[in-house]
Structure 1
Amino acid sequence: MIATIITIHLFFATVYLVIKEPEVVVKNKKVVLDYARVSLGVLGLLLASGIASLTTIKSAIMPQMNIVPWQILIIFFGSAYICGSLDASGVLKLIAYKFASVSKNGKRLFINLVLLAGILTVFTSNDIVTLTLTPIIVYISQYTNINPMPYLIAVFFASNTWSMFFYIGNPTNVVVAQAYSLNFMEYAKLMFFPTIVAILTSFFGFYFKYRNILPGKLNIAFIRENSRVELQSFIKDTKYTFLSTGFFVLFFITIAIGDLIGLQLWKSILLFSGIYLLLNTAFSDVLSERDEIVVEIGGFEYNLTFLFDTVKRVPWKMLPLVLTFFVFVHIFTRFGITRYVGSLFNFQNELIATIITTFTTAFAANVMINQPMTIFFAQAFYKKPINYAMSLIVGSNIGGNITLIGALAGVMWSRILKFYGIEMNNKIFVRETFFVALLVLFTTSIAIYMVYML
């Protein structure tokens, strides 16, 4: 009992510190307790108290009810590396320029970007689309001298909404599908109508929110005048850009047809992460702009700075955070908390059950990140009716649109924007998305209930 109480207190303390990121003074130096330091500290406390052991940590990422957490880690960090490598080639800047050139006004650009994000998400995954399109939107805003915020928010929300169509759209969908033994077509049949409702609600919600600040016309002359010279410097090496783009297209196709050819998503991402690692190594000497990491090979000096720069773009600091939450979920299950929470979800009215489950899981994602949250509730809802599974899917996807810590992509997205000099914190994000997120959760809950009753 004491161990359970300590674990719960440590869990909420972790959530608070991750959101707050307080500063402490150590030897007259300010040290920020970011999510990596907090997570490692909490893991240390769990180990020191005897509540967890190294075996516990290992078990936390091992298969549980057909759910495999370590595969989720490969999917997330591998996707980040692949997309970061593509951006390093310069091709996304070129795409952004071309895309802005054909969009005559801000409203058309808004519609085009949301549709592009949605369609890409249907065939790949939300994380990949967010990582790929974010730099493009930033570059477009630079070329056209417009406010990127409406486009960034709408595209981020769209990628976390269209992702519900198929289970390849989000790793959390895979978790629920595995837990309920749903195949590709069974999943798609259940989630088609709720996803359509969510898409329409979110699109019109953001369109009406931003319609008065979207520019009437894009300054195409500004683009052409200021980008003609820059375009020559976009592509650092033609061969590398060609190969990087070609492999990404192949990667995109492989993910889209992976279910048909029996190739799991994590295997596809692991394969192409290896390909990009080799590609970046081969071209590192040509593309390196600094001499920070130079090694001697066979009497020749080889510059590996570019290779290390692409690897550093991956948000590795998030690894201890995710691992810590997986450990918490595993401990909760061991202590019986998961089973107890599941017993609370017994409602006589299925509409109320659907609405409460959708909202509860969505907000729970913002307490424990959507992947661990989904594993937790998938175990808690074991053998419950299918509408609970559908609500969990919606909660895990839309929950990532409420705060930045609702999904791993949100945290990484804010770091990417910081890389480009755009501030995105929880206060800004919640202000922009909260009302639309609540509206989407409610309308989609109604849609789930209709599908379930029919």
Structure 2
Amino acid sequence: MEAMIVVSIFVISYIFLLLDKINRALIAATGAALMVLFGVFSWDEALSSYVDWSTIALLFSMMVMISITQRTGIFEFIALWMIKRVSGKPVALFFWIGILTAVGSALLDNVTTVLLLVPVLLHMIKQLNLRAFPYLVNVIISSNVGGTATMIGDPPNIMIGQAVPYFDFLDFLIHLGPIVVIIHTFTMFLLYVMFRNSLSKSKSVELELIHKLNPSESLKVTPLLYQSLTILLLTIIAFTLHGFLHIELTTIAILSALLMLLISENDESSDIVFQKVEWTTLFFFVGLFVLVGGLEKAGIIDQIAYTFIDWTEGESLTSSLVILWSAGILSGFVDNIPYVASMIPVIEEFQSFGVKPIDPLWWALALGACLGGNGSLLGASANVVVAGIASTHGEKIHFIKFMFYGLMIVLLSLVLSTVYILLRYFL
């Protein structure tokens, strides 16, 4: 009975999210409240056991830092500099954005990258009179593909890295980096083919006006500029080295945000900074965690996961491919973080049964969960963040419209990943 109630609430909530007529945070919060009303769990259990507060705190901290840094004009400076660099050409900008997002997502993490990049991108789009949708889709997809390459690039990889003690930063780069480069190359080409008419028809400003642009004029050269950039740079370095420093990403982000709030208090009070935080996005995450937590509490995700053992009978190749495709498909519709959390003990169970080689199963889970996040706006944290920021700038990303493009990219990514796993680990 409980499972039926949970599934009904989840499906109805998902239908309303698909219709995209009501605020996402309101839908997610209502679904979460219904879970509590029907006794699936209490509020205490829902908020303490199923909401990933580390992710919420990380997002909040990055939003605070970006809000403060934005006052210095650095984002406008970067936007105008890149406009001059590509001479206002929409296609060149499209490819530059894709590459920059993928590299940034690998070196930092994809949520941080899109939080830093999307405000700059939206400013460029406004300056060049371009359609925002193709570029925003490019950012979302490139962030998830690029984030797949490293242990810190995407939350599922962080979880896998913590679950397997002998995996380090270099292991992820060696095993996932090559296929990520291949997938991103194919992805960029496919996205260009799908959006080429929109890009070619985009109205661009006159070349003469572009040459007259002076990016330096947008900078507000005050102590806050140097202080905020220094803190951001140190934060990025700490993110990259967090494994060696033995400090969690969330701790680094919170300390950096607090430091930035302290140094900027004289320029703008913390109350004003907090007003600029994307609260709608944060509340949507909380509601979504509770919704998926209901599926976990009812044992539905675990049941799906353990069914794989019956299907594959513990055979390594079959198990790797089943995990890859199931993670890739389900992660597009159920946030990949709780799905990976439920799959980690399953693979550990395979390991206890003596299945060899076991490592391909971990890499298949990482590829499927991270790449499958492109399937819908709910598939990965970065997707929700981009949609939230874009919405506040008047650029709405429609759920079904994005899914049309995202699912094609996921299919292509999974096919290429299948070939890669077969060639690298089993042939």
TM over 0.5: yes
Do 1:43 and 1:324's aligned partners in 2 also have CA atoms closer than 8 Å?
yes
Give the drift of 1:261. Answer: 2.6
Instruction: Tell me the secondary structure at the aligned position of residue 317 of structure 1.
Output: helix
Give the drift of 1:126. Answer: 0.7
Distance 1:442 1:54, change over 3 A: same
Pick one of 57, 82, 96 that aligns with 2:79.
96
Q: Which residue of 1 aligns with 2:186?
A: 201
Give the drift of 1:394. Answer: 1.8
* 1:260 matches 2:229: no
Give the drift of 1:125. Answer: 0.5
Give the drift of 1:159. Answer: 1.4
CA distance in 1: counterparts of 2:207 and 2:424, whole angstroms: 46
CA distance in 1: counterparts of 2:126 and 2:216, whole angstroms: 13
Q: Which residue of 1 aligns with 2:127?
A: 143
Give the drift of 1:339. Answer: 5.8
Do 1:329 and 1:372's aligned partners in 2 also have CA atoms closer than 8 Å?
no
CA distance in 2: counterparts of 1:371 and 1:188, whole angstroms: 20
Do 2:32 and 2:290's aligned partners in 1 also have CA atoms closer than 8 Å?
yes
- The structure having more radius of gyration, on CA atoms, is 1
Counterpart mapping for 1:64-213 below 5 A? 69-104=52-87, 105-181=89-165, 182-211=167-196, 213=198
CA distance in 2: counterparts of 1:440 and 1:280, whole angstroms: 44
CA distance in 2: counterparts of 1:341 and 1:70, whole angstroms: 30
Which residue identity does 2:361 align to in structure 1?
A: Y
Do 1:143 and 1:223's aligned partners in 2 also have CA atoms closer than 8 Å?
no
Give the drift of 1:169. Answer: 0.4
CA distance in 2: counterparts of 1:170 and 1:357, whole angstroms: 18
Pick one of 343, 362, 378 that aligns with 2:344.
378
Do 1:386 and 1:452's aligned partners in 2 also have CA atoms closer than 8 Å?
no
Distance 1:49 1:113, change over 3 A: closer
Q: Which residue of 2 aligns with 1:395?
A: 368
Counterpart mapping for 1:420-435 below 5 A? 420-435=393-408
Instruction: Tell me the secondary structure at the aligned position of residue 167 of structure 1.
Output: coil
Structure with the bigger RCO (C-alpha within 8 Å, sep 6+) is 2
Give the drift of 1:128. Answer: 1.1
* 1:50 matches 2:39: yes
Do 1:402 and 1:430's aligned partners in 2 also have CA atoms closer than 8 Å?
yes
Q: Which residue of 1 aligns with 2:25?
A: 36
CA distance in 1: counterparts of 2:398 and 2:43, whole angstroms: 34
Do 2:347 and 2:361's aligned partners in 1 also have CA atoms closer than 8 Å?
yes
CA distance in 1: counterparts of 2:126 and 2:136, whole angstroms: 13
CA distance in 1: counterparts of 2:267 and 2:39, whole angstroms: 48
Give 5+ residue unaligned stretches, structure 2: 351-357
Give the drift of 1:96. Answer: 0.4
Give the drift of 1:344. Answer: 4.6
Distance 1:82 1:141, change over 3 A: same
Do 1:197 and 1:447's aligned partners in 2 also have CA atoms closer than 8 Å?
no
CA distance in 2: counterparts of 1:420 and 1:322, whole angstroms: 23
Which residue identity does 2:182 align to in structure 1?
A: V
Distance 1:136 1:363, change over 3 A: same
Do 1:332 and 1:338's aligned partners in 2 also have CA atoms closer than 8 Å?
no
User: Aligned Cα RMSD in Å?
Assistant: 3.1
Residue identity (%): 18
Q: Which residue of 2 aligns with 1:12?
A: 11
* 1:363 matches 2:329: yes
Q: Which residue of 1 aligns with 2:353?
A: none
CA distance in 1: counterparts of 2:403 and 2:333, whole angstroms: 14
Do 1:83 and 1:132's aligned partners in 2 also have CA atoms closer than 8 Å?
yes
Which residue identity does 2:34 align to in structure 1?
A: L
Do 1:74 and 1:266's aligned partners in 2 also have CA atoms closer than 8 Å?
yes
Do 2:328 and 2:373's aligned partners in 1 also have CA atoms closer than 8 Å?
yes
Give the drift of 1:97. Answer: 0.0
Q: Which residue of 2 aligns with 1:321?
A: 287
Pick one of 343, 349, 353 that aligns with 2:309.
343
CA distance in 1: counterparts of 2:302 and 2:136, whole angstroms: 41
Q: How many residues align?
A: 416
CA distance in 2: counterparts of 1:58 and 1:432, whole angstroms: 34
Distance 1:168 1:49, change over 3 A: same
